[in-house]
């Protein structure tokens, strides 16, 4: 018995229905969007056969939509990059599904390997590049759906943007 508390739970607490939150049909929180990305990543059969590599431009495919959000699949051949860009009013979750990518911001750069996730707030600017010698695949969840992707011309403009969440 825990003498620090008078509260005791008897029986199966999960059987008390009014204490359980109903399962949501669609994600609504940052944690749920990150969880959605992880569940898609884990289900390779749902996306792996869709991936194409294009040496002339980045390949992308809208994988899924929901109320106010979009899920995109992107491939990156060695040397391909996004250019320095923002995401307008959208927040996002970037998840590396295979290979590795480099993310560059005014604060520095970081290597994102398979399974890595980056969550970012509206206005966040970065550049994503495949600096490796192998192809890479990433998943991008945007909420609200991506309506603009303003390109920036240099690090000075990027430095004006707020830091990642």
**Whether 142 contacts 94, CB under 8 Å:** no
Report which of residues 58 and 86 the model is more confident about: 58
Provide the domain count of the chain.
Answer: 1
- Rounded Cα distance, 22 and 25, in Å: 9
Residue 1 falls inside a structural domain: no
pLDDT by residue (tens digit) across 94-125? 999 999 999 998 889 999 999 999 998 888 88
Q: Does 16 fall in a domain?
A: no
Structure-block tokens of residue 16 = 């008390």
For residue 46, what pLDDT band results from cuts at 50, 70 and 90? Answer: very high
In a domain, 137, yes or no: yes
pLDDT of residue 83: 86
User: What 8-state DSSP symbol labels residue 17?
Assistant: G
The three-state secondary structure class of 18 is helix
Q: What is the mean pLDDT of residues 54-74?
A: 92
- Would you state the pLDDT for residue 100? 97
Extract the tokens encoding 52. Answer: 């194409």
85 labeled part of a ligand binding site: yes
The tens digit of pLDDT for each residue in 133-165 reads: 999 999 999 987 665 555 677 543 343 343 333
Q: Of the given ranges (8-12, 59-63, 68-72), which has the lowest mean pLDDT? A: 8-12
Residue with tokens 């002339």: 56
Host domain of residue 64: 22-159
| Cα separation, 71 vs 95, whole angstroms | 11
- 53, part of any domain: yes
Residue 136: closest CA among 118, 115, 155: 115
CATH code, domain carrying 136 = 2.60.120.10
pTM: 0.76
DSSP codes, 119-149? EE-TT--BEEE--SSS-EEEEEEEES-----
Answer whether 71's CB lies under 8 Å from 36's CB: yes
């Amino acid at each position: 018995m825990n003498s620090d508390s008078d509260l005791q739970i008897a029986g199966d607490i999960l059987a008390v229905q009014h204490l359980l939150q109903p399962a949501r049909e669609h994600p609504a929180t940052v944690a749920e969007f990150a969880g959605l990305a992880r569940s898609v990543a884990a289900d390779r059969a749902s996306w792996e056969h869709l991936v194409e590599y294009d040496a002339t431009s980045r390949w992308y495919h809208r994988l899924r939509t929901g109320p106010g959000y979009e899920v995109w699949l992107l491939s990156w051949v060695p040397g391909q990059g996004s250019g320095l860009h923002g995401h307008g009013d959208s927040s996002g979750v970037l998840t590396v599904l295979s290979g590795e990518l480099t993310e560059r911001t005014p604060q520095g750069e970081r290597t994102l390997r398979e399974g890595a996730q980056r969550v970012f707030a509206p206005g966040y600017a970065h550049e994503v590049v495949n600096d490796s010698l192998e192809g890479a695949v990433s998943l991008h969840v945007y909420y609200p759906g991506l309506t603009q992707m303003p390109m920036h011309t240099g690090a000075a403009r990027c430095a004006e943007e707020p830091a990642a969440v």
